[in-house]
Structure 1
């Protein structure tokens, strides 16, 4: 398990975010697993997770971010953001997930993002367009409170 402090984004009034240094009170642990699907003796699909030592193209990867407020005070209006894995196609249908297609400058739900086309039209964003993923911490995140965010992605 990799332990790291992460840059958190302060929520802006217009749905925009600006990066700030994470308060020392927030601890994030990141885990990456490879999801394997096998068939049991009765023909039913069984999903298992294994530590992702060396994920390969085509692997379905599950990213898990565990967070904990280790401070003495509640934390309000903060979000945890992560860059997506390069060459990955994330599964982005979670209702509490916001995404960015421009490096974290603008955030919205995946189904609300449209991009310009070279001929002057627009198209819906696809998973390969996503550069960052963001989750909002509960408001407030009380001292000692913990939580988990996760998403699945397929490596290309």
Structure 2
């Protein structure tokens, strides 16, 4: 994936989005690149910078801020985000569900299978993930907000 395509994908993901109009949930996403630097004393330091320049192998951190802007509690809400084509998601978060088919089916990565070109089936791998979601564990009251984060590696 070219850097221009990658930046366009990141720009779309970073734009505010309103999920499920009846729920009045606002989602804002920020994307950072985590770089490891060595300071003058030889100690490793992790630095977060804007994702304006992304190279293959970069560690990406996505931060999703959510807020219930409605007047009613949001029940049964799940935060769902598309995965950029050039990213391999870290699927270690036990609260995260993933989809490898555009959001039609959800589960843990080790539960998902994909068809092969020769008519067989294979287990899905992190590179196959198209969407991620986190169900909110309870109702989000009006005005309530929170944030979650997840990691990926730029391919």
User: Normalised by the shorter chain, which TM-score bucket?
Assistant: 0.7 to 0.9
Cα deviations across residues 13-38 of structure 1 (Å, max 9, x unaligned)? xxxxxxxx333631111101010011
Between 38-47 and 124-133, the greater mean CA deviation after superposition: 38-47
Counterpart of 1:126 in structure 2 is 125
2:18 maps to which of 6, 30, 34:
6
Taking structure 2 as the reference length, the TM-score comes to 0.81
- 1:83 has 2:82 as partner: yes
CA RMSD, 1 decimal: 2.1
8 A contact 1:87–1:128 mirrored in 2: no
Number of equivalenced pairs: 143
Spell out structure 1 runs of 4+ moving beyond 4 A. none
Between 34-43 and 45-54, the greater mean CA deviation after superposition: 34-43
- SS at 1:93's partner residue? coil
Q: In structure 1, what is the Cα distance between the partners aligned to 2:70 and 2:137?
A: 15
What is the Cα deviation at residue 42 of structure 1? 4.5
8 A contact 1:36–1:48 mirrored in 2: yes
- 1:95 has 2:107 as partner: no
8 A contact 2:23–2:68 mirrored in 1: no
Query: Higher helix share goes to which structure?
Result: 2
Residue 118 and residue 79 in structure 1: after superposition, are their counterparts in 2 closer, same or farther (change >3 A)? same
Note the residue ranges of structure 2 that are not aligned, 5 or more in a row. Answer: 1-10
- SS at 2:110's partner residue? helix
Counterpart of 2:47 in structure 1 is 48
Cα deviations across residues 48-78 of structure 1 (Å, max 9, x unaligned)? 2111123232221111110011222111001
What is the Cα deviation at residue 136 of structure 1? 0.9
Between 137-146 and 110-119, the greater mean CA deviation after superposition: 110-119
Taking structure 1 as the reference length, the TM-score comes to 0.81
Counterpart of 1:144 in structure 2 is 143
